[in-house]
Amino acid sequence: MTKYSPAVSDIRKPKLLAIASGGGHWVQLLRLRRAFEGCEVIFATVSEAYRADAGGQRFYCVCDATRHTWIRLIRAGWQVLSIILKERPDIVISTGAAPGYLAIRIGKFIGSSTIWVDSIANVEELSMSGALAGPHADLWLTQWSHLAKESGPHFRGAVL
């Protein structure tokens, strides 16, 4: 009996959904790109203007929403659900805010590994979306050592 050895083409790269709101959340997510090496990366954010930042990788645009815009938040939820069901990512990572929270919750529900990196802008306390999403993430990180707790978030350094 011969031993099976998979060819390089038989080995599937992990599929990673990188999702964040615009502005600083998006910038921080892009600064994590080196950590995505070896993955098939899909980007999602709230502005079509960021498509160029995806470097030719799959890109989705979702509705920009907050807790104050419930109708838009529901629409964003449906869009994130649609992306996750279509792409079936192995990993979901976000730096915030609302779209990332939704993706962490939905991704976890379908069995994706989930990572939340709280915004560096939140110096005094965790962001609201981080406080909500973090306990549901497999890995919950803060970029400020004084905000780290044994139960999470954990501090492993800053993105900037």
Q: What is the CATH number of the domain that holds 50?
A: 3.40.50.2000
Looking at the domain assignment, is residue 6 inside a domain? no
Q: Over 70: is that where the pLDDT of 1 sits? A: no
Looking at the domain assignment, is residue 2 inside a domain? no
Looking at the domain assignment, is residue 51 inside a domain? yes
User: So what's the pLDDT on residue 3?
Assistant: 61
pTM assigned to the model: 0.90
Looking at the domain assignment, is residue 1 inside a domain? no
User: So what's the pLDDT on residue 8?
Assistant: 58
Q: Are 29 and 108 in contact (CB under 8 A)?
A: no
CA dihedral 149, 153, 154, 157 (to 10 degrees): -120
d(CA 39, CA 37): 5
Looking at the domain assignment, is residue 20 inside a domain? yes
d(CA 3, CA 150): 45
Contact partners, residue 77, CB within 8 Å, separation at least 6: 102, 106
User: So what's the pLDDT on residue 5?
Assistant: 58
Residue 93 Cα distances to 8, 26, 127, 146, angstroms: 26, 12, 16, 22
Looking at the domain assignment, is residue 5 inside a domain? no
The predicted-structure confidence for 2-55, as pLDDT tens digits, reads as follows 565 555 566 899 999 999 999 999 999 999 999 999 999 999 999 999 999 999
Looking at the domain assignment, is residue 67 inside a domain? yes
Task: Specify the number of domains making up the chain.
Answer: 1
HSE (CB half, 13 Å, CA atoms) of 114? 26
Please list, residue by residue across 113-124, b when 16 or more beta carbons sit within 10 angstroms of its beta carbon and e when fewer do: bbbbbbbbebee
DSSP letter assigned to residue 22: S
The predicted-structure confidence for 106-160, as pLDDT tens digits, reads as follows 999 999 999 999 977 677 777 788 889 999 999 999 888 888 888 888 888 877 6
User: So what's the pLDDT on residue 146?
Assistant: 87
Residue type, 132: L
Looking at the domain assignment, is residue 112 inside a domain? yes
User: So what's the pLDDT on residue 144?
Assistant: 86
Residue 9's Cα: distance from chain center in Å? 27
Q: Over 90: is that where the pLDDT of 95 sits? A: yes
Which residues form the domain of 88? Answer: 11-155
